Chains A and B, each alone.
Chain A
Amino acid sequence: MTELTSTEPGTQVRAFPLERGCPFAPPQQYAELREAEPVSKVKLKYNGREAWLLTRYEDMQQMLRDPRFESDIADPGYPLQFAFPLDLLEQGIVSKTLFHMDPPVHTKHRMILMPELTARQVEAMRPRTQEIVDELIDAILAQGPGPVDLVKTLTAPLPSIQTAEQLDLPRDTTDLFYRWIALLVTQGTAEEHASANAEVEMLLHRLIAERKANPGTDLISNIIKRNDERGGELSDLDLSALVRTMIAGGHESTLNGMTVGIFTLLTHPEQAALLREHPELGGQAVDELMRYSTVSDHGTVRVAKEDAEIGGVLIKKGEGVICALQAANRDPRVFSNPDTLDFHRKEASANLAFGSGHHRCAGQTLVRMQMEVLFSTLLRRIPGLRLATPVDELPFKGETALIDGLHELPVTW
């Protein structure tokens, strides 16, 4: 019989998130932990609670596919890493988003949204994505040889414009959504959370009421219609939570993935040249960039609803688990020479940047398409593109941010 271990006395409990040496590489300790202690105890810097940290690819795959691990954010064992406004959930002011639901409820809600994000729907959006990217690059080129901040001029507007068009959002709502999402992925006071959430919720309820009265062809109208066709089980609060999921995904995580992706291309000129000469490698390049520069490292967490063994370690009921996705995506058991960026890498698509299990990113097909168009067009249209600031002076989104990124990416050509 296999001996299972729980918290052994004397085992080191590390403060989490771990210290980053270079902000553009995974914490060095991930590699050590992956070999020596792949399931280790950490103490969250946010609230001092303990949780388990997984650093091996296989262990994360197994855990994320195991129904004994749930996403219930209201569970006291759930590894919270920022000031989530739990009281708004308890008071019924906002509904849980897909991120924090479990089957069968999760399945019911997710399947109202997913028909909007199929490969076919996304392909139909490709020409418009190309048009937006071309217009944004026209405007960049018109400014002369820089320096130009690519966050402000390209990676922030692209997903935000496309999400606004897909949802038919009023133009003046962008700032509100940015403020709300910035709070979602960083620290913030309870009051700031409550106020931004209330504003977002009021706006979305107004939009849902308008689209019920005058349906259009936008995503909000479509999910209202689909919900009605399926018996109207989702309330307006639930529909609003689905829309919030789309908006959150369409802003912070996508924009950071795009920004860090471009940064990685600019600091790997040989791979950038390869992609410029072989645009047919676009899809594979996006997968490899997602693997190599995984912006969402430790936001993928679960809580054990029963005792369960992962990687030979007993996780007890009520204990939280954090996936270090950057560690999974550099696991040499799955990716040979994991610290090398290689657009010819066949296994790149196995990366866990979009998560796994039933919470696998709902927008992954859309994000992959947008990134493919963005990277290939940028390299083709501005072939001399380079950083305008030394790497160590780039304003990295700090350790408290749940998603890696850059506040600015100044470039010249």
Chain B
Amino acid sequence: MLQVVIDKDVCVACGACVVSGPDVFDQDDNGQAMLIVEPEESLREQILESIDACPVQALSLVEEPAQNAA
């Protein structure tokens, strides 16, 4: 399980994350980044691309410990 953190105090609503990660991000009514899905492993590449694309480093990925891993 991945956790994506969006810092809304920093986000400047440019929409770069939506271009890089259209399956993960959209913009809310303010134009700021929002998640449209539960971030899954299969979306890791898009998430990382969006983190790189964000001009203000408002996005970050937190790896949650796999509590029930086999």
A→B interface (CB under 8 Å): 64-65, 107, 110-111, 114-115, 117-120, 122, 283, 349-350, 354-358, 360-362, 364-365, 368
Contact call A118/B56, Cβ cutoff below 8 A: no
Residue of A119, A349, A368 with most chain B CB atoms under a 10 A cut-off: A119
A-B contact count (CB 8 A): 65
Contact call A283/B19, Cβ cutoff below 8 A: yes
Contact call A114/B30, Cβ cutoff below 8 A: yes
From residue A365, how far is it (CB to closest CB) to chain B in Å?
4
Check if B41 is an interface residue, CB within 8 A of chain A.
no
Contact call B30/A357, Cβ cutoff below 8 A: no
User: How many Å lie between the Cα of A168 and that of B56 in the bound state?
Assistant: 32
Beyond the given A349-B49, A350-B52, could you list 18 further A-B residue pairs with CB under 8 A, ordered by the A residue number? A65-B56, A111-B13, A114-B31, A114-B32, A117-B31, A118-B31, A119-B27, A122-B15, A349-B19, A349-B53, A354-B14, A357-B56, A360-B12, A360-B16, A361-B14, A364-B14, A364-B16, A365-B14
Contact call B18/A119, Cβ cutoff below 8 A: yes
Complex: chain B residue closest to A104, CB-CB: B9
Which residues of chain B are within 8 angstroms of A110 by Cβ–Cβ distance?
A: 12-13
User: How many Å lie between the Cα of A205 and that of B42 in the bound state?
Assistant: 51
Check if B20 is an interface residue, CB within 8 A of chain A.
yes
Residue of A64, A283, A356 with most chain B CB atoms under a 10 A cut-off: A356
User: How many Å lie between the Cα of A384 and that of B57 in the bound state?
Assistant: 44
Residue total for B at the interface (Cβ-Cβ under 8 A): 20
- Decide: A365 near B19, CB < 8 A? Known: A111-B30, A115-B29, A119-B26: yes
Which residues of chain A are within 8 angstroms of B32 by Cβ–Cβ distance?
A: 114
Contact call A364/B53, Cβ cutoff below 8 A: no
Check if B55 is an interface residue, CB within 8 A of chain A.
yes
Question: Quick one: which of B32-59 are within 8 Å of A by CB?
Answer: 32, 49, 52-53, 55-57
- 8 Å CB contact of A119 from B19, B29, B55: B19
Complex: chain A residue closest to B10, CB-CB: A358
User: How many Å lie between the Cα of A192 and that of B46 in the bound state?
Assistant: 48
Which residues of chain B are within 8 angstroms of A119 by Cβ–Cβ distance?
A: 15, 18-19, 26-27
Contact call A118/B27, Cβ cutoff below 8 A: yes
- Decide: A365 near B55, CB < 8 A? Known: A117-B31, A119-B26, A349-B20: no
- 8 Å CB contact of A362 from B14, B26, B27, B56: B14
User: How many Å lie between the Cα of A350 and that of B48 in the bound state?
Assistant: 12
Contact call B56/A368, Cβ cutoff below 8 A: no
Contact call B15/A118, Cβ cutoff below 8 A: yes
Contact call A356/B55, Cβ cutoff below 8 A: yes
Which residues of chain B are within 8 angstroms of A114 by Cβ–Cβ distance?
A: 12-14, 30-32
Contact call A358/B56, Cβ cutoff below 8 A: yes
Contact call B52/A117, Cβ cutoff below 8 A: no
User: How many Å lie between the Cα of A120 and that of B30 in the bound state?
Assistant: 12
Which residues of chain B are within 8 angstroms of A115 by Cβ–Cβ distance?
A: 13, 29-31
From residue B8, how far is it (CB to closest CB) to chain A in Å?
10
User: How many Å lie between the Cα of A161 and that of B50 in the bound state?
Assistant: 32
From residue B55, how far is it (CB to closest CB) to chain A in Å?
4
Which residues of chain A are within 8 angstroms of B18 by Cβ–Cβ distance?
A: 119, 365
User: How many Å lie between the Cα of A65 and that of B15 in the bound state?
Assistant: 17
From residue A393, how far is it (CB to closest CB) to chain B in Å?
37
Residue of B27, B30, B31, B49 with most chain A CB atoms under a 10 A cut-off: B31
- 8 Å CB contact of A120 from B26, B53, B56: B26
Which residues of chain B are within 8 angstroms of A117 by Cβ–Cβ distance?
A: 13, 15, 31
Interface CB pairs A-B, < 8 A, 15: A65-B55, A111-B30, A114-B32, A115-B30, A117-B13, A117-B15, A118-B13, A118-B31, A119-B26, A354-B14, A357-B55, A358-B55, A360-B56, A361-B14, A368-B19
User: How many Å lie between the Cα of A357 and that of B57 in the bound state?
Assistant: 8
Which residues of chain A are within 8 angstroms of B30 by Cβ–Cβ distance?
A: 111, 114-115
